Structure 1
Amino acid sequence: MSADTPPGASFPENPDPDRTIEHRTPQPWQAATNDAHTQQLPYGAAEELGFNVPGGTEDAPAKRGRGWLIAAISALFVLILGGGGVWAFSQLNGGGTQPQDVLPGNAIAYLRLDLDPAANQKVALLAIGRKFPGIRDSLSDDDPRKALFEAIKGDSPDLAKVDYAKDVEPWLGDRAGLAVLPPAGDGKDPDIAVAVQVKDEAAARDGIAKLGAEDEFGLAFRDGYAILAKTQAAADGYAKAATLAQNAEFGGDTAAVGEPGVMSFWMNLGKLAAMSGAEAQGLNASTLESIKDTRFAGALRFDDDYAELAAITRGGQPTQIDAQPVKIAELPASTVGAVSLSGLGDGFAKQWPTIQQAAQANPDGQVFTKSLEQFQQLYGLSIPDDVVTLLGKSLTIALDQEGLDGQQPNVGAVLTTDPVKAQGIVTKLEGILAGSGAPLRLATKPGDGQLVVASSPEYADKLSTKGTLGDSESFKLAVPEADKATYAMYVDLDKLEPLYLGGMKDDEKANVQVLRAAGLSGSYAGSTEMTLRVLFN
């Protein structure tokens, strides 16, 4: 389907409204495309866009109330999709100049919002929106920029006389970006530059003046954007400077993230820390040195079945932690929630001298050292050695579906470590709790290079056996490349529903039931990568 396809174009008969029309869809992690022909348009979405779809639904869903969840979700859909997709889909390609193409190249942090993202993002958002009962009632035929303006306007007396249709709509574009810049001259405070896409420079100048911004900020124009800065001289300079898009580090980092989606961000952590006086706030010189060249980039984007926040860190000193892929996929299939982390023991051992140094540099450092010595003598524990043993090569904590409705849920941990040493430490911890009046009996089961600690012997046995959680379709979608991840998290929201659905109203319950699962996966071997996903039924 082309972006120029006229309303009313017919599609072939399709008796299944959930079936999709395949057009070799690019996935969210692939490069954005401006070719509307490469999109996957859900069959129901075609109808939503005003196309004539034989066999489609004729009656709009009944108006339903909504709670906090639907209100939050609706806000995003109003901003991006406008009137059920009518406004946003007026141009499917999502191409054109981005804020980084006009903002200064010496920025040390950048945030971008795109109300006209690539077509695959719009189609995915519409597909997700249709999953929520009542979502169409949250959308209107209004321009989503108007909804955003009215939200900002609020009850502000300075904006009370500003009319959106007359003073804002004629010039306001779809994209905006904010850049944090190094202090000018001998100043200590960072400079800020904002780029707002405009359709008419003359109208934009008049409109911004009515908003009151021109009296307080400098204003210049560049390639279809209004650039606002603290002073007119700064704005003029930014409009002529090399751009952030020309910054090789920025370009490489954002390319590594992939599809920029609806929102994206980038920052140089070392420069931000130095500019904010982090050393004076407690970060020592070695910590600042370790992040000196570290950069962080990410994006919020969508697929038909999930929302995804992807991020990556690059540069800086390479991670020295001995981290191996976690085995969260080998948990029991009945697992409802789990977190698995690798390399914690090695990381704690290497960081312990730095922790001690930071504590001793504190005015109460001697008190800390003495208290730690007394604790070790009193309870027979050795720090950091015992902590390193418990954290081990990897640590996985899990909650099972069985027993959720009882007084004692099945919860446990799998410690990849020396099982004999870990067993002794667990026994000491049980003694400490018993002496404090909070006795806790834990079931343990040693194995080959691991110790399982659980709330019951039965669950300890279950955790010690290789499970099939990784075969779950929800898990595979929520935790991508789990076999390579050095840290991961998974929550099966469908299985947890009995814990929180009971007290909800029917309309809220229907919307919450759309949420399927959540997952996190990543690696800190070399550059740190992270993917956080929320799945929808």
Structure 2
Amino acid sequence: MSYPDPPNQPSWAPPGPQTGGQPAGQPGYPGYPMGMGAPQPPQYAAPRKKRIWMVPVAAGLGVVLLASTVWAANTVLGGWFGGPQPETVMPSSSVMFAKLDLKPSGGQLANYAEFAGKLPDEVKDELDPESDPARDLVESEFDYLDYDKDVEPWLGKRFGFAMWETDSEAAQVSRDGMAAAFAVAVTDEDAARTALQEVQKKEDLSFDFRDDFALLAPNSATLSDLDSKIAASGTLDAQEDFASDMQSIGGDTLATAWMDLGEFSRIQADSPSSGYGRSSNPFDDLTGGEDVEGRVAMSLKIESEYAEVRGDMFDVKSGNALDDYKAPEPGLEAMSSLPNNTVMAVGGSGLDSVAEQVWEENPDDFGDFEDALDAQDVSLPEGFTQLLGSKTALGITDVEGSFDDVFSNDFSLQYRATGADADLLEEIATAMSEANYKSAPGVDTDGDTVVISSGATGAGKLGDDAFFQRVMEGTEDSHVGVYMNLREFSPDDDIANPEQWGAVGGAVNFDGSNGSIVARWAPSGGA
């Protein structure tokens, strides 16, 4: 998306050094990549077409990552392994960074091929292993280029995008104090220069080359500002927080994204963009107007057994919102002890402790819940442990029908709560069944765990299921977990062969201002 020139602002930047000798592009509104906190100025005229800043969006969001994985797994190229990463040509002052890496290591390549073989037939039928995602992008957005002749001979397999603060108005991508650049790996600078000069004739673009990357920017002022920032403080890969955060989320990723929340919100809050009638701080709705600190990082990773999306937060704070919360002891034992025919499950450790801390912060929010407990002579906060225990899990079993039918019919379940009050839970279960004219569920104990079961529940343990183990691998010490067995749903118009879709699972781990979220899909098409 692009914006027109604001009133009384020239539509061109002062001429400057340009690779290819073309005049500089407009500094005013070349479009705001990724849409993060971008102001929405009024439309003064029909916008000019400025597609070059659609490229980061198309690369980061429009490229189908599964297609990229299949393509990478089925492609053999010379010089495939190794090479620099985009963060080595971006400034250390970057507050936002994202990259797509289609140049995997040998181990990744083997994982991609094995994972692609496990995809459901429905997915495989939609993917062409010979299709190059870059071709689709170039042919749709730059139809004046011949991909085979003008692009493919030099195009590398790594792409990066970064934004940083700048004092140069000419270098800003909009009136928010931010500059941005896009990095494309190249294997032949001369061939890349010829193609980019053609693009430069039609788009607002400046470019230059650094360490096997073509740097693309809306004008030469942005590239000059990038160079000055690197000269002053180095490149992003050497920035201490960024390097530490990337190490935490792990390597061998297909895509990653990173943001310095504190710096980004400060820049937005200090920008004049709020003059357009919109809050310039994108986190106001989440924080209630409080300042935010810390950083977040996300990654997409393909292993041989599953695809994983991971998000980590580092030193994240908003006022004192997280300072007073104490993380309970982690563990998902109760969840893995659910019956082996569990279709959907949620579980966690210390949920009673978390609930108590939330209650102490905002007791009025629990008014209706407390009223419901009065009939059972239960008071808060002690009632949280009586009901939830220290380790808790709920599993729905024996589902017949599609996902939409799960809660519209009778279903079986098992509830497990370690350290809960068995007598209280039995009273509540009996009262609920009488109100609905149903037979009361069974209440039993397993050591110090209260077990409530209703309907058909398996004799084995969910933790022994191979797909549960795949999606929950390494999450044993998490605070909250979720799981869904997709193989148990009946075929319908959306899923023809559910037995090929495996399972999905996820986990949350938190410790004050630090935490992580992991979500995985383990397909079963080839297993």
Q: TM-score range by the shorter chain?
A: 0.5 to 0.7
Q: Secondary structure at the match of 1:500?
A: coil
Residue 260 of structure 1 is matched in structure 2 by 252
The aligned residue for residue 232 of structure 1 is 220
Which structure 2 residues correspond to residues 288-367 of structure 1 after superposition, within 5 A?
288=291, 292-293=293-294, 295-316=295-316, 320-327=326-333, 328-352=335-359, 354-355=361-362
Decide which of 89, 92, 96 is 2:83's aligned counterpart: 96
1:270 to 237, 262, 269: 262
Name the Cα RMSD after superposition.
4.0
Report the CA distance shift for 1:90/1:329 in structure 2 as closer, same or farther (over 3 A): same
2:100 is matched with which residue? 113
| Shift in Å, 1:470 | 1.9
Aligned to 1:283: 287
Q: Quick one: which amino acid aligns to residue 409 of structure 1?
A: F
Q: Once the 2 structures are TM-superposed, how far is the Cα of residue 99 of structure 1 from its aligned partner? A: 0.6
1:397 to 394, 397, 405: 394
Partner of residue 411, structure 2: 409
Give the corresponding residue for 1:380.
374
CA gap 1:282/1:222 in 2 versus in 1, 3 angstroms: same
TM-score (norm 1): 0.66
Secondary structure of the corresponding residue to residue 147 of structure 1: helix
Q: How does 1:179-218 map to 2 (within 5 A)?
A: 179-182=162-165, 184=167, 188=176, 190-211=178-199, 215-218=203-206
3-state SS, counterpart of residue 135 of structure 2: helix
- Contact preservation (8 Å) 1:419, 1:449: no
Using the TM superposition, give the Cα deviation of residue 421 of structure 1 relative to its aligned residue in structure 2, in angstroms. 8.1
Contact residue 520 and residue 532 of structure 1 kept, 8 A: yes
Partners in 1 of 2:490 and 2:200 — Cα distance? Answer: 47
Asked whether the 8 Å contact 1:78–1:147 carries over to 2, the reply is no
2:472 alignment partner, one of 470, 479, 494: 479
Give 1:112 deviation, angstroms.
Answer: 0.8
Q: CA deviation at 1:408?
A: 2.3
1:384 deviation in Å? Answer: 6.2
Number of residues of Structure 1 aligned to a counterpart in Structure 2:
423
Q: CA deviation at 1:450?
A: 4.5
CA contact (8 A) 2:179 2:222 kept: no
Deviation string for 1:132-166 (max 9, x for gaps)?
A: 5584884364544213333x42xxxxx44333234
Q: Would the alpha carbon gap of residues 478 and 514 (structure 1) be closer, same or farther in structure 2, given more than 3 Å must change?
A: same
Change over 3 Å in CA distance of 1:417–1:124 after alignment to 2: same
Over 3 Å counting, the alpha-carbon distance change for 1:79 and 1:471 in structure 2 is closer
Shift of 1:348: 2.9
Where structure 1 has 5 or more consecutive residues not aligned to the other structure, the ranges are: 1-71, 154-158, 357-368
Alignment of 1:444-459 (within 5 A): 445=443, 447=445, 450-456=449-455
Moved more, 233-242 or 412-421: 412-421
Q: Which residue in the other structure is 2:207 paired with? A: 219
Identity %: 22
Question: How far did residue 452 of structure 1 move?
Answer: 3.7
Of residues 327-336 and 199-208 in structure 1, the stretch that sits farther from structure 2 once superposed is: 199-208
Cα distance in 2 for residues equivalent to 1:302 and 1:280: 34
Could you tell me which residue of structure 2 aligns to residue 523 of structure 1?
509
1:61-83 CA distance string (max 9 Å, x none):
xxxxxxxxxxx9x9545434549
Displacement, 1:210? 3.5
Q: Aligned residue for 2:491?
A: 501
Q: 1:491 aligns with which of 472, 476, 484?
A: 484
Pairwise CA distance, 1:534: 1.7
- Say if 1:332 and 1:128 are closer, same or farther in 2 by CA, change over 3 A: same
* Aligned pair partner of 1:126 in 86, 107, 113: 113
Q: Distance between the aligned counterparts of 2:372 and 2:314, measured in 1?
A: 44
Q: Which runs of 5+ in 2 are unaligned?
A: 1-60, 170-174, 269-279, 318-322
Q: 1:385 to 1:202 in 2, by over 3 A?
A: farther
Aligned partners of 2:146, 2:239: CA distance in 1, in Å? 39
Q: 1:89 to 1:413 in 2, by over 3 A?
A: same
Q: Distance in 1 between matches of 2:166 and 2:432?
A: 55
Which of 1 and 2 has higher RCO (CA within 8 Å, sep 6+)? 2
**Aligned CA distance change for structure 1 residues 441 and 248 (closer, same or farther; 3 Å):** farther
1:339 is aligned with what amino acid?
V
| Alpha-carbon separation, structure 2, partners of 1:98 and 1:234 | 20
Name the CA distance, whole Å, in 1 between partners of 2:146 and 2:80.
30
Q: Which region of structure 1 is more displaced relative to structure 2, 483-492 or 170-179?
A: 483-492
Between the aligned partners of 2:390 and 2:103, the Cα distance in structure 1 is 45
Contact persistence 1:444–1:451 (CA under 8 A): no
- Aligned equivalent of 2:148, options 165, 186, 198: 165
**Contact 2:200/2:206, CA 8 A, preserved across alignment:** no
Deviation at 1:126, TM superposition (A): 1.9
- CA distance 1:236–1:516, change in 2 (3 Å): same
Aligned to 1:532: 519
1:245 Cα deviation from its structure 2 partner = 0.4
Paired residues of 2:483 and 2:503 also in contact (CA < 8 A): yes
- Check conservation: 1:416, 1:449, Cα contact below 8 A: yes
Q: Which letter maps to 2:135?
A: K
8 Å CA contact 2:97–2:163 kept in 1: the answer is yes
Q: Kindly state the Cα deviation for residue 263 of structure 1 after the two structures are TM-superposed.
A: 1.2
C-alpha distance in 2 between matches for 1:183 and 1:446: 65
